[in-house]
Amino acid sequence: MTHEFYIKRCLELAVLGIGNVSPNPMVGCVIVVDDKIIGEGYHQKYGEAHAEPNAVKAVIDRFGADAETLLQQATAYVNLEPCAHFGKTPPCADLFVKHKLKKVVIGNRDPFSGVDGKGIEKLKNARIEVESGILDEECKYFNRRFFSRIQKQRPYIILKWAETANGYFSTLDGHQKWISGALAKRLTHQWRTEEDAILIGKQTAIMDNPQLTSREWPGKNPVRLVIDKDLQVPQSNHIFNSAAKTIIFNEVKTDVIDNVHYIQMEDMHFYLAQKIAFQLYLMDVQSVIIEGGANILNQFLTANLWDEARVFTAPNSWPNGLRSPIINGELREQIHIGLDKLSIYINHTI
């Protein structure tokens, strides 16, 4: 088998941690002897063991007294450079050194300053052969949320909306009128389990009274973020229930009441998208879905503060309505979700 084959297997394992490891990256590890996988592991939950110790443990659990001899003959594959610092867990590079692995093959170098080549250096100093840069671009895109937070000092920003076949986004009076179908809704709930937070504006909170939970897909709920400058959203609305943590960006107060956190900002009519992006970075929010309305989506588009846009286009048309935001990005993928068409755009200008 090739190095690429095993790194792809690392990614297959790593994605099992999506939604549960932030603000850490998603990492998988495969340990191989004589072209046979003898142990696998992935980072399952933030604060718990990383992929590498889970893979080593799998070898020890399976082979018992023979494990040490096998590890000394082994090549470990990992999609991201093993960490070299003490954080929530000990350094993974030290673990490989301790067990005297023969070789380590790596997808990406870790851009975090506490690692960034230091893990590779530790391995080489212990006379472990290291090869890196395998499927480098694929691995970077896979961990794009992590790379965005580390390199851009902001979360990975996903814009999401639905539009009619003739380009309408919402009704003229702002009242809720469902555009996309049931399958699109279920997929949206799956996405919510995969990202840290979801953001809407005051108008959407008042007119639609959304729950912003993942109730139609198993997994965690995202943190609910609401822009409400003057605190006009009624306390009876769903965003104030106990289903998930809610953060209200406003100009009135900073306070914590049960699961609702109020964060006061100044001059919210200036550079709002930039202020929110930086505030989320400070809060270790690694990814956010922005669901609108149109005003909020257009503010992030105008500021060029977005990484990915997911747009559902329904087959039906409306006689009138508010026009959808205009997206200027590379079309990465188009697929049909029931009767709707999902277009995914990537922003390569940042």
Which residues form the catalytic set? 52
CA dist 322 and 302 (Å) reads 18
Tell me whether residue 83 is annotated as binding: yes
Strand partners, 80: 108
How far is C-alpha 293 from the geometric centre of its chain's CA atoms? 22
Helix axis angle, 3-14 to 51-63, nearest 10°: 100
Q: Is 251 annotated as a binding residue?
A: no
Asked if residue 162 belongs to a known ligand binding site, the reply is: yes
Q: Return the closest-CA partner of residue 292 out of 210, 229, 173.
A: 210
Q: What separation in angstroms does the CA of 199 have from each of 9, 127, 202, 203, 222? A: 33, 48, 10, 12, 10
Integer CA distances (angstroms), 73 to 35, 55, 76, 124, 156, in order: 11, 15, 10, 16, 39
131: left (phi over 0), alpha (psi -120 to 50) or beta: beta
The answer to whether 291 is annotated as binding is: yes
Tell me whether residue 309 is annotated as binding: no
DSSP 231: -
Is residue 270 exposed (0-12), middle (13-18) or buried (19+ Cβ within 10 Å)?
Answer: exposed
Token pair belonging to 123? 């391995």
Q: Is 161 annotated as a binding residue?
A: no
Report the C-alpha gap between 148 and 195 in whole angstroms: 13
Residue 10, annotated as binding a ligand:
no
- 9 marked as part of a ligand binding site: no
Any known ligand binding at 212?
yes
Report DSSP letters for 309-328, one per residue: EEEEE-S---SS-EEPPPP-
**CA–CA separation, 273 vs 259, rounded Å?**
24
Among 118, 123, 114, 67, which residue's Cα sits nearest to residue 96? Answer: 123
**Scanning the structure block, which residue is given the tokens 């100044």?**
266
Q: Could you give the angle at the alpha carbon of 33 between the alpha carbons of 31 and 34, nearest 5°? A: 145
First to last CA, the chain: 37
> Binding site membership for substrate: which residues?
192, 212, 215, 291
- What residues form the annotated binding site for Zn(2+)? 50, 83, 92
| Binding site feature residues | 50, 83, 92, 162, 178, 192, 204, 208, 212, 215, 291
Annotated binding site for NADP(+): 162, 178, 204, 208
